[in-house]
Chains A and B, each alone.
Chain A
């Protein structure tokens, strides 16, 4: 597939000229800027990095949603993961994003410096290999992520079972995206005019996975990540606004099928079961996460490894809980770019490269200070 076609500068400029009157018209009709939420952290980065956010700024507020897996992970989960690292015979394996996420008392980098065996992996399959290479140790993989990463972790559990690996464990903290988006709409004073829905998640769950949103009659479009995807998705949202009955639009048809990836969904159903975990900012959300199925419970870190965590609390003043819901933005937080920076993050949104605060720190901060 030629991705470059979707980032063709001259074509983009032509499309933007065509879209401008529509943007203006809707802006005037509503009498204020339109509030569109991009649910996915990759979209947040893409809007900033390409400059599309700036081009839309006269007409549209783009609000970041609960789309960064590290950011929506509850503080008690973070503390539990750090507690595993402190166990004598445990090797913790994790994606890199988790390393700097502040726990109540420390983070994984600090624990590694204190002597814990913590290894960054780029694919869950590497964690399973580490377990096989270290039979005397218990290897815990920190399962943080959405529908996108869960299948590859499910695959390691299936392999571990088939190959009778008895020292591999997963701490499952996977989240499901649609329930979080739905909970935003259940808030009676929400101000969201439309959603740019995550492309990668939709590859797994399909357009069908978002059907639950249709009862709210809110414009929503599944989008890819290239500049032309972003622009055409916003145009589709504008057009949906004019219709009395809205349906979920699929503007990422090159990758997203109606029912998603059936094999991956089947695998998730076999290895995990849906439960109701706590999210940062949201609290407990019904049927919004994946935990390990009883058939695989011997690999469940929660059930097999005792590690006592400290009482969890978040840093005073940290607004990450409101930022992941789109209720506030990074510039509303007093700690942003003062006490909290990518070098010294106080909340998770400043850690992940796709966290809202980290993205705004890198791309929007200086413009914001110039415009004041």
Chain B
């Protein structure tokens, strides 16, 4: 089995071979093939939007995706929720000595396929190899550049009391799939990560709905952390209704088994939308008609307040949701 060696990162012939046979072969961008020290790109119109993210997931392959797909969707979705159309992307790979070449190729191909689907160009890249044990298989960093048309207004200060909080599907699926895979839980119903590109859906939403005030993708920390941040920034309250929050039963079950709360668990294909009440119902319907977004729902409302995130439980109680504090660790019992 062919493996990554330290010499693949020393800048010599094996580095060149790795770049041409693995990376350029998969990414195939004219700018990349120039092999310059930097990419030179034409400027398009609008505001420049930039986002960067690093991906260090274990396991690198999970039901519904892998670190390659994740590294593209993560950055594209960050651009998309900021109202930008993705244009260019950089990628940096940190590889562990001993990584199987076959696995690397698979992940690079998955990365390339996702980028192609998103219509984003990979214009510059970097590879380093570190000694065995100095990283866990491979890490990826991506930076995305997009353009936002002038006139797109998405900002905290547009959010008003009465606005509705909408999500495009079930929560906690990415965390449950990854944790389940990591722990080797045999599922009766398989759980798949929600890892998916959102730029196309978001583009349609911004074209058709004019009262969308703000969007965020609730990744690490889950919907609770993201919405608490929004509440704090706006000093308005957000009141969620527990029974309206979509969670697949198998996801809820898996997370509860580990003593974890779906509201705090990572998503990789979800967007929280804050929209005016007049369009909320139509927006939910619009989302539900798109495959992969059938569980979309209006889950709460923005009210006057002081930056609190509140959850009305199904049993008549109300509780305060705070930001996630500390790493969520499965319990002993």
Contact = CB atoms under 8 A, between A and B. Distances in A.
A51 B332 contact: no
B330 interface: yes
A191 interface: no
Given A123-B183, A342-B326, A353 B331 contact: yes
A372 interface: no
Contacts of A149: 332-333
A4 B249 contact: yes
Contact of A69 (B261, B320, B329, B333): B333
Contacts of B318: 51, 54
B320 A145 contact: no
A353 B329 contact: yes
Which label, helix, strand, loop or mixed, suits the secondary structure of the B interface?
loop
Nearest to A98: B332
Given A50-B315, A55-B315, A366 B320 contact: yes
Contact of A9 (B258, B260, B314, B333): B314
Interface string A144-173: 111011000000000000000000000000
B259 interface: yes
A335 B78 CA distance: 39
B243 interface: yes
A16 B329 CA distance: 33
A12 B326 CA distance: 33
A97 B331 contact: yes
Contacts of A16: 315-316
Nearest to A361: B325
Interface in B277-333: 308, 313-320, 322, 325-326, 328-333
Contacts of A295: none
Given A100-B326, A354-B259, A366-B322, A145 B333 contact: yes
Interface string A339-359: 001110000000011100000
Contacts of B253: 3
A51 B316 contact: yes
A18 interface: no
Given A69-B333, A353-B331, A354-B259, A367 B326 contact: no
Interface centre among B249, B317, B318, B322 (most CB of A within 10 A): B317
Nearest to B308: A366
Contacts of B261: 49
Interface string B192-220: 00000000000000000000000000000
B329 A97 contact: yes
Nearest to B318: A51
B325 A363 contact: no
A227 B328 CA distance: 23
A13 to B, nearest CB: 6
Given A7-B314, A9-B314, A12-B314, A51 B329 contact: no
B243 A52 contact: no
B205 to A, nearest CB: 31
Contacts of A51: 313, 315-319
A54 B319 CA distance: 9
A26 interface: no
Contacts of B249: 4
A70 B332 contact: yes
B319 A49 contact: yes
Contacts of B243: 9
A362 interface: yes
Given A51-B318, A55-B315, A95 B325 contact: no
B333 A200 contact: yes
Contact of B325 (A12, A13, A52, A343): A343
A42 interface: yes
Given A343-B326, A352-B331, A353-B259, A122 B183 contact: yes
Contacts of A53: 317
Contacts of B315: 7, 9, 12-13, 16, 50-52, 55, 227
A42 B333 contact: yes
A97 B332 contact: yes
A95 B331 CA distance: 7
A354 B313 contact: no
B14 to A, nearest CB: 31
Interface string A20-58: 000000000000000000000110010011111111000
Interface string B251-270: 00100001111000000000
Contacts of B319: 48-49, 51, 54, 363, 367
A286 interface: no
Given A49-B319, A343-B325, A95 B314 contact: no
Closest 7 CB pairs of A and B: A51-B317, A96-B329, A9-B314, A51-B313, A122-B183, A342-B326, A342-B325
Given A45-B259, A341-B325, 11 more contacts: A9-B243, A9-B314, A51-B313, A51-B318, A55-B317, A96-B330, A98-B332, A144-B332, A145-B333, A227-B315, A361-B325
20 contacts: A4-B249, A9-B315, A12-B316, A16-B315, A48-B319, A51-B313, A51-B318, A52-B315, A54-B318, A69-B333, A96-B330, A96-B331, A122-B258, A123-B183, A144-B332, A146-B333, A227-B314, A353-B328, A361-B325, A363-B320
